[in-house]
Amino acid sequence: MICVFPSAALTENQYASNNNNTNISLNDKNVIQVNAAYYSVTIKQKVKAYRKIRTKVKVRVKVWYKYKGKWRSTYKYRYSYRYVYKPYYKYIYKNYKVRNIPPKECKKATKNAQSSNARIKALAKSLTPATKNVSVPNPNPKPTAPEHVENPDPVSEPSSEPQIADFNGNETAYQEAHDTWNETNVSYSSYLKAKQKYNQYLQDYASYQQKLSQYKENITVTKKLTTLEKATNIFNWVRDYVNYSFYYNTRRGAVGTLRDRKGNCVDLSHLIVALSRAAGIPARYVHANCKFSSGWCGHVWAQLFVNGKWICADASNNINDFGVIRNWNTKNDILKGVYSSLPF
């Protein structure tokens, strides 16, 4: 069977198909643009039919004849024609339309999606806060260490400048002493400059160590939660904390499913729809026949309206993500209906 339907269904089957375990992005089949009032569905169906056939039939007939004055009988065969009806199978195509429920009809509480319930509202509020703290890379550069400076070897401070009178007028001795004093004085001046540079290095290094101790590779900032993040939080919570249980149709509703922490595809969808509507996100139901690895089965999942698109959310299998299908073939689901309130 073939269905022309722009959405994707998920499965009740708890085992993934070997040939369909692929990721589907939010821009792929699981995201539906709202651009039509109806979905057009075409089904290729195999039906039994009969054809009239003229056949030749061999018939045994009793014949009487007279032999030596007595009547005797015998059997002869003759052929006649008659019509029979033989069955055969053919394919027919059925077309029907399914209404595309708009977001404005998918906001209110219903009998089984009790979005106004206190427990539902409290859980939705905890899953969809207005802001969250996130760790991001520090935009400020990491402090850099100052260029290393060696501590200079100490140099003795020179004595007072020699005077010629100290040498009794001996200019040669005075000149030699003065040259020696000049050399010592230059060395000491260079030492003072090097020592000053080294002391500045120590101050810079101490400042670097203090800044380095205060520097963090990542910083915490407050970020506003997007609608997509809120919807993902709701889906992930239902998928991870509510167990799947097989049965038909609605049995618990959203409140009962939250209380018992288990439900089938219908009740899991009730809970997702209720939490989403309580958080201000329009949500609806989709009903279709889906082909699992074990065969065809009716199935229900939720769709959440995020950023102008309907995104599929099926929490009946832990390998699924919000807007991602991994456990059945999404190309041949047969759409049965789209609802703001599920009738079963």
pLDDT per position as a tens digit, 316-325: 899 999 998 7
The Cα–Cα gap between 240 and 261 comes to: 10
pLDDT in tens, 274-294: 999 999 999 999 999 888 888
- CA angle 219–224–226, rounded 5-degree value: 125
Q: Select the highest-mean-pLDDT range: 139-153, 157-171, 177-191.
A: 139-153
The CA-atom distances, in angstroms, between 115 and each of 39, 85, 233 are 27, 59, 16
- CA atoms of 305 and 284, how far apart (whole Å): 8
- What percent of the chain stands above pLDDT 90? 45
What percentage of the chain exceeds 70 in pLDDT?
90
pLDDT of residue 35: 57
User: Stretch 166-184: mean pLDDT, rounded?
Assistant: 80
Please tell me the distance from the alpha carbon of residue 166 to that of residue 335, in angstroms, as a whole number: 118
The number of C-alpha atoms within 13 Å of 232 and in the hemisphere containing its C-beta is: 10
Question: 1-37+100-131+227-344 — its CATH code?
Answer: 3.10.620.30
How is residue 26 annotated by DSSP?
T
Q: What is the pLDDT of residues 145-163, one digit of tens each?
A: 999 999 988 888 888 887 8
Where does the pLDDT of residue 30 fall: very low under 50, low under 70, confident under 90, or very high at 90 and above?
low
Of 215, 239, 223, 253, which Cα lies nearest the Cα of 323? Answer: 239
Given a cut of 90, whether residue 248 has pLDDT beyond it is yes
pLDDT the model gives residue 165: 75
**Cα-based angle 244, 305, 110 (whole degrees, multiple of 5):** 65
Mean pLDDT confidence for 16-32? 39
d(CA 297, CA 33): 26
Is the confidence at residue 169, as pLDDT, over 80? no
Model pTM? 0.66
Q: Is 194 left (phi over 0), alpha (psi -120 to 50) or beta?
A: alpha
pLDDT, tens digit (0-9, with 9 covering 90-100), for 78-134: 888 888 899 999 999 888 889 999 999 999 999 999 999 999 999 999 999 989 888
Look at 21-30, 66-75, 293-302, 318-327 and tell me which has the smallest mean pLDDT.
Answer: 21-30
Q: Flag whether pLDDT at 29 surpasses 70.
A: no
Please report, for the chain, the start and end positions of each structural domain, with discontinuous segments joined by +: 1-37+100-131+227-344, 46-94, 139-215
User: Contact, 288 vs 1, CB < 8 A?
Assistant: no
CB 292 within 8 A of CB 17: yes
